Amino acid sequence: MSIPLRDGPDEGNRVDCPAGPRDHGRRERCLPLPAGSAPSGRRQCTNRTKQERQADLKTTLALRHVEFEDLGILDPILRWRGHDLSYVDVPTADLSDLHPLSADLWVVLGGPIGAMDDGNYPFLSTETELIKARLAAGKATLGICLGAQLMARALGARVYPGKAKEIGWAPVSLSSAGYASCLRHLADTPVLHWHGDTYDLPEGAVNLASTAVTAQQAFSSGSHALALQFHAEAAGPALERWFVGHTLEISTTKGADVISLRGDTQRCSAALTQRGELLFNDWLDELGL
C-alpha cells in the first residue's frame, strides 16, 4: 500500500484505504477491575453518565503553534473522557506564566517551523525547557510532529533536516515495541505525514515506528511520554484548512499537490479516525486519564 509520497500526481499511485465504519453511538469505556477481583488484565465495561464524568474531571493543555493544527480527533475523545480542554498559542503567549506541571496532560502540537530555530522563533527555547521539566517530572505528555521533535530535543537528542520531506498519506512500519504498544492499532493503516525534519532517538527512549524515508517516526519515553512524528489526530474536512495554510510548502514539495492530498484524505480518513480513536483511548487508559 502506498500513498502520496509519490513522484507526481499519477492516478496509478492512488490507493484504496481500508474503510472503517465509525460508531457514533455511546461508547463503552473499559475500566480496570479492582485488585484481586479478577485475573490480571481482565476489564469490566461500564457506561458512565455525564454526571459521573464531570465528577472525574481532568485537564488537558494543548500547546498550539498555528491555529489550524489543533487537537483534531483528540478533541471529542478527551471531552468524552471528562477532560477540560484549553489551548496556549505558544508564539504569542507569555510562557513565563505557564507552569510545566500544570494540567494532567500536555499535547504539544505541530507547526511549520524547525524545532531548533530559536534564532527566528525565540519562544522555542522556553517551550523546550518547559517540556524538559515536565518530562523529568514524569507528567503525561503527547507530542505530535513538531511536538515530537521538541520532546526529542528536550530529552537531549539532535533534531535536523531529514533525507526528504514526507507530505501525504502512508502507513508506518511498527517495531516490535510498536506492535506491543497502543500503536498496534495503526498496523497497515495510512496516516498523515507532514514534515521535513527528523530527530535521533533520545537516550532511554524506545523507537515504535519508522518509514523508508524516516527511521524515527514515533517513540515512547517511560510510561508517561509518547511522541508521534506523523499525524494520527488529523483527518477529514478539517484538513482543508491545512491545504490553504500550507499552500506554499505543498507547491514547492516534489510529488505533493492539493488535489492528490484531498483525494487521499477522503479515502483514508474513516479508517484513521476509527483506529486513531483506539490508539489514543488505549494510551489514555494506560495513563489512567
Beta bridge partners of 60: 85, 105
For residue 167, the model assigns a pLDDT of: 98
**Residue pLDDT, tens place only, 238-255:** 999 999 999 999 999 999
Q: Are 250 and 257 in contact (CB under 8 A)?
A: yes
Average pLDDT (66-75) is 98
Range in 37-51, 95-109, 116-130 the model is least confident about: 37-51
Query: Architecture of domain 56-287 in CATH?
Result: 3-Layer(aba) Sandwich (3.40)
**Residue pLDDT, tens place only, 250-282:** 999 999 999 999 999 999 999 999 999 999 999
User: What are the domain boundaries of the chain?
Assistant: 56-287
C-alpha to C-alpha distance for 84 and 81, rounded to whole angstroms: 9
For residue 2, the model assigns a pLDDT of: 35
For residue 211, the model assigns a pLDDT of: 98
90-116: burial string, b at 16+ Cβ within 10 Å, e else: bbebeeeebebeebbbbbbbbbbbbbb
For residue 55, the model assigns a pLDDT of: 58
Average pLDDT (117-146) is 98
For residue 274, the model assigns a pLDDT of: 98
Helix (H) or strand (E) holding 141: strand 140-144
For residue 49, the model assigns a pLDDT of: 63
